[in-house]
Structure 1
């Protein structure tokens, strides 16, 4: 139960549009590109560029659908919208699925931060370095949201600046402005060609790429903490989507051109660091590793924000334990922060048990969950469009065909990975989670959830 003192406290809201924009980017630019790009290159070779392009198109469809829904139903986050479209059981499943997704992503980001610290402290165990990073991020999230937003703004700014510098230096090297021994044409089309593993390589890379683009839904959480949603959201969506696609495709293209794809290690340091080591620019790899460290800490920071706000929202609706609704004197959801922190401890313990493949294995699970959440968002748009009071000025072109195409593409990707024996661990984990959530949804009282929705729509 929540006592009277707790009821008088309010969740702090104070994010500005610049905070939201950087937070959305921060959630999408993290381990997926800085660490996961090594995996995708090993899976598909240079043709992984096509995977990033196609996934970017799907991302755009999902983001526009989410923006349209946010404008049509101001004040409702993703879970509220799913409830409005499909009822409280679907809302519970998607809400917890989203929390699990971000929880695993946050664990991955913290473990990646620990792996980047290993570059300087090779003899220190991964679990210890990851634990230090986790404590650092938890500490940041104990501050008021406006300070958190400011911190995230600068953290996100550092990694975006770093990617821009990487792109500029990489292009100068590829075009011969900076002398080097790099042979771009050979790197792109040698070593098995542009499609070394054929069409199957492109398809298999989708799971990590979707994981990489995951985080765009963070705007669905921050929308309730943003002023002038109708004016700011369309600008944020347009700039975030195109910049993120740019920040993924160009760096991947540069990496493919600067070194043979089959010489990029998926288990050692980031491909970004490996490129500078291969080219031999003095001190550049050290600086890049520092930037990558701040980058994944930034993504973990966004993950903590997403998990605690999701839990708070669900607790208000009676769909999560009431202790996760507990706020500090600063208006920070410390109950949710405590639960999130406990799962970070589990992640660190897994790093202690199985260090070598822990990051790769964990990255496959959010790939599945993100696909399901994206499908739910597109399906909600299809269901709710006829019920709008008025059609939002910002909406997807070619409705409903574009939305249906997005659902079909995401469904095909999901099925292809379920049928792939290499993804057996991720598939079993994902279906097990779904089964548990479906069972739990039948034990939660609909009365409190329905009442909360009515209050939200009336406000």
Structure 2
């Protein structure tokens, strides 16, 4: 008797344009992960872990490399604007693709609003008296218009945004290394005083390292965008493989290298590390004039870049889900190679988050932030499970199991820490609700004999 299985609708990328070039993909991969989480948010990790933040970023960086290696393999074999969502559908079932896709869509749309708020705060600091919401609305309008046009516009914006961010970090590393070596004019080498003094390399002990590790994991979010964009490149297979391969070691250099420079130059417990941000604190230590305003410009660019990338990613994830029968058909309408309805809906959701941040900051908005707190880990876990079921490589399945063990350990650590436990539970509740909805949707899909 023949078995039956759910016939999952397959995405066709024929309606999307292919306007992204290899240089766009390379910079999207490299710059997509370099955001305000690194420039500003890393200060909290340094304050908790001290110099051991270098170890925290190294460990989380190795985990991210494993995840991106798996995702890059699957995306090169089957390029799709749905990326991990499409791979999960093929490997596990439509319910898994539904869960991964829509949870990530909520994460990206919410992030668009958060990044808009952050960018507006910087601008209102320069122009006091202007309303923050008006600046957010302006940024939304600019990037919504950009994403409604041809995909090459998104690619060009991201190329130059990423180039500026990469250039800023590269210059910071050069100056920092010269200062540490004692050859930068006007500075003396700090030696190892900041690494071994002030409580030593592990001033917060194991607990401090755990807090730093959790902070570093989420700072790496954003690499997934390149595998989403690959479906609209001129050569998806070669493009995504090359972009992911070259980006991984460079990002490790930028993240781990800059953390090492910062904690060597500046005492980890200096108030400026949190109050001004670690990069500004390090530049101030070098006596570079106008360092604060310079870094504000870089952070503003990072936030605007993230807005642009997340709006793009959310619209393509939504398009792919609809194309595979896992969402409302209206979001799948394509015009001139662009899913314009999906772009508009993603913009509206993002601006709705901004409205909530002013209207209900202590309950609804706070709940929304907690709900997306661990989505990246959920997605990475689904990526690893999908890889187990789809791929067979020389290192299979050892490295995939190592990655899964690492993610399980991080989830356990989140459950132990009061500051992250509520995020874990809220994300778990949303994931469960989406999984139930996805399974119900899967049961409604056509069944075919195989």
Q: TM-score, normalised by structure 2?
A: 0.87
| 8 Å contact kept, 1:61–1:403 | yes
2:42 paired residue among 22, 37, 40: 37
Find the counterpart in structure 2 of residue 403 from structure 1: 400
Correspondence 1:316 to 2:323: yes
CA contact (8 A) 1:45 1:194 kept: yes
- Are residue 227 (structure 1) and residue 234 (structure 2) matched? yes
Note if 1:275 corresponds to 2:282. yes
What displacement does 1:366 show? 4.7
Does 1:384 pair with 2:385? no
Shifted more, 17-26 versus 316-325: the winner is 316-325
Equivalent position to 1:18, from 20, 23, 26: 23
Of 260, 272, 275 in structure 2, the residue corresponding to residue 253 of structure 1 is: 260
Q: 1:272 to 1:364 in 2, by over 3 A?
A: farther
Specify which of 314, 335, 339 is matched with residue 307 of structure 1.
314
The structure-2 alpha-carbon separation of the partners of 1:356 and 1:437, relative to structure 1 and needing over 3 Å to count, comes to closer
- The equivalent of 1:177 in structure 2 is 183
- Mean CA deviation greater in 97-106 or 267-276: 267-276
**Cα deviation 1:370-397 (Å, max 9, x = unaligned):** 11111111111111236xxxxxxxx5x5
Q: Which structure 2 residues correspond to residues 435-454 of structure 1 after superposition, within 5 A?
A: 435-444=432-441, 446=443
Say if 1:40 and 1:277 are closer, same or farther in 2 by CA, change over 3 A. Answer: same
1:424 aligns with 2:421: yes
Unaligned runs of 5+ in 1: 1-6, 387-394, 455-459
Worse-matched range after superposition: 142-151 or 84-93: 142-151
Match of 2:409 among 392, 408, 412: 412
What residue in structure 1 maps to residue 90 of structure 2? 84
Determine the structure 1 residue equivalent to 2:147: 141
Taking the aligned partners of 1:78 and 1:193, their CA distance within structure 2 comes to 41
Tell me: CA distance 1:135–1:268, structure 2 relative to 1, closer, same or farther (3 Å): farther
- Answer whether contact 1:82 1:377 (CA < 8 A) is retained: yes
Tell me: CA distance 1:145–1:318, structure 2 relative to 1, closer, same or farther (3 Å).
same
Q: Does 1:114 align with 2:120?
A: yes
> Taking structure 1 as reference, are residues 107 and 136 closer, same or farther at Cα in structure 2, changes over 3 Å only?
same
Residue 431 of structure 2 is matched in structure 1 by 434
Q: Aligned-pair distance for 1:364?
A: 6.6
Aligned partner of 1:389 in structure 2 is none
The structural deviation recorded for 1:331 is: 2.9
Rounded Cα–Cα distance in structure 2 between residues aligned with 1:417 and 1:21: 32
Contact between 1:38 and 1:265, CA under 8 Å: does it hold in 2?
Answer: no
Q: 2 CA distance for matches of 1:128 and 1:357? A: 23
* Cα 1:180–1:416 shift into 2, 3 Å: same
The answer for the alignment partner of 2:77 in structure 1 is: 72
| Equivalences for residues 188-199 of structure 1 within 5 A | 188-199=195-206
Tell whether 2:171 aligns with 1:165.
yes
Deviations 1:171-208 (A, max 9, x none): 22222222236735332222222111112222222332
Q: Which moved more, 1:361-370 or 1:227-236?
A: 361-370
CA contact (8 A) 1:155 1:295 kept: yes
Alignment of 1:218 with 2:218, yes or no, is no
Does structure 1 conserve the Cα–Cα contact (< 8 Å) formed by 2:109 and 2:349?
yes
**How far apart are residue 266 of structure 1 and its match?**
6.8
The DSSP-based 3-state class of the residue aligned with 1:444 is helix
- Larger deviation: 339-348 or 11-20? 339-348
SS of 1:35's equivalent in the other structure is: helix
Q: Which residue of 1 is the match for residue 104 of structure 2?
A: 98
**1:194-240, Cα deviation, whole Å (9 max, x unpaired):** 11111222222233222111122223212212233343333222210
- Is contact 2:276–2:292 with CA below 8 Å preserved after alignment? no
Return the match for 2:32 from 12, 17, 27. 27
Structure 1 segments of 4+ aligned residues over 6 angstroms from their partners: 354-364
In the alignment, is the contact (CA less than 8 A) between 2:94 and 2:442 conserved in 1?
A: no
2:67 is aligned, of 48, 62, 69, to 62
Match of 1:242 among 230, 249, 261: 249
State the SS of the aligned residue for 2:19.
Answer: coil
Q: How many residues align?
A: 435
Would the aligned equivalents of 1:23 and 1:153 in 2 still touch at CA under 8 Å?
yes
State how far apart, in whole Å, the 2-side matches of 1:263 and 1:292 are.
Answer: 21
- Classify 1:251/1:264 alpha carbon distance in 2 versus 1 (closer, same or farther; 3 Å): farther
8 Å Cα contact 2:111-2:350 kept in structure 1:
no
TM-score by length of 1: 0.86
Quick one: distance in 1 between partners of 2:364 and 2:183?
40
